[in-house]
């Protein structure tokens, strides 16, 4: 299974691709999509859409694992993030890619073991879990890799539950 993790952002969107199954996975690639904050928001959305479409075409993910919405003090920021998330969901649906959404606290809990982990803790655990030589930077890309890793752990559990329910009694 190949998972594309996305940490949505209207100025910097993090992405990471991880390949494997269950709790065995490996890094494929990661990076960010940068948008100019001085551009109209619609132009930033187009930039993000085109860049993520290229990433999907290059890496052919089976699953899009995206950070779920979270409470933000600034309503404007929350709305913009929601629109970026919507683009990611649209891209996945257009390409027939399965979608998984995870709350930020669940991602941190899964990867670090603590739901209120700091950015540097997430980066360090991603480095360890993916056997990287150095921490992935920027933190947006590390967060995207953590979201992809989170999917491997939770999808594996969901598969086990489904198999146990299918066994004859």
Say what percent of the chain tops pLDDT 70. Answer: 89
Segment 83-114, tens digit of pLDDT: 999 999 999 999 999 999 999 999 999 999 99
CATH of range 2-166; options 3.40.50.850, 1.10.630.10, 3.20.20.60, 3.30.420.10: 3.30.420.10
CB 126 within 8 A of CB 132: yes
**Parallel/antiparallel/unpaired status of strands 2-7 and 63-67:** parallel
**101, β-bridge pairs:** 66
What average pLDDT does range 9-16 have in this prediction?
Answer: 94
Catalytic residue annotation = 7, 67, 140
Q: What is the mean predicted confidence (pLDDT) over 13-26?
A: 93
* pLDDT value at residue 23: 80
What residue ranges do the domains of the chain occupy? 2-166
Which residues contact residue 137 at a Cβ distance below 8 angstroms, ignoring those fewer than 6 apart?
Answer: 123
As a whole number, the mean pLDDT across the chain is: 91
Among 9-13, 62-66, 113-117, name the most confident range: 62-66
Q: What's the rounded Cα separation, in Å, for the pair 98 and 94?
A: 11
Helix/strand/coil (H, E, C) string of the chain? CEEEEEECCCCEEEEEEEEEECCEEEEEEEEEEECCCCCCHHHHHHHHHHHHHHHHHHHCCCEEEEECCCCCCCHHHHHHHHHHHHHHHHHHHHHCCEEEEECHHHHHHHHCCCCCCCHHHHHHHHHHHCCCCCCCCCHHHHHHHHHHHHHHHHHHHHHHHHHHHHCCC
> Is 160's pLDDT higher than 60?
no
Higher pLDDT, residue 168 or 4: 4
């Amino acid at each position: 299974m190949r998972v594309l993790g996305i940490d949505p952002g209207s100025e910097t969107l993090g992405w990471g691709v991880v390949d494997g199954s269950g709790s065995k996975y490996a890094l494929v690639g990661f990076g960010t999509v940068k948008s100019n904050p001085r551009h109209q928001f619609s132009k930033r959305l187009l930039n993000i859409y085109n860049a993520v479409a290229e990433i999907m075409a290059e890496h052919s993910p089976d699953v899009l694992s995206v950070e779920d919405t979270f409470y933000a003090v600034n309503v404007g920021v929350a709305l913009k993030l929601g629109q970026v998330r919507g683009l990611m969901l649209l891209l996945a649906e257009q390409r027939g890619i399965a979608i998984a959404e995870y709350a930020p606290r669940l991602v941190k809990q899964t990867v670090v073991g603590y739901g209120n982990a700091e950015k540097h803790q997430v980066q360090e655990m991603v480095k360890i879990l993916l056997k990287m030589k150095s921490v992935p930077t920027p933190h947006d890309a590390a967060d995207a890799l953590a979201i992809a890793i989170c999917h491997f752990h939770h999808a594996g559990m969901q598969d086990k539950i489904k198999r146990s329910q299918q066994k004859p009694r």
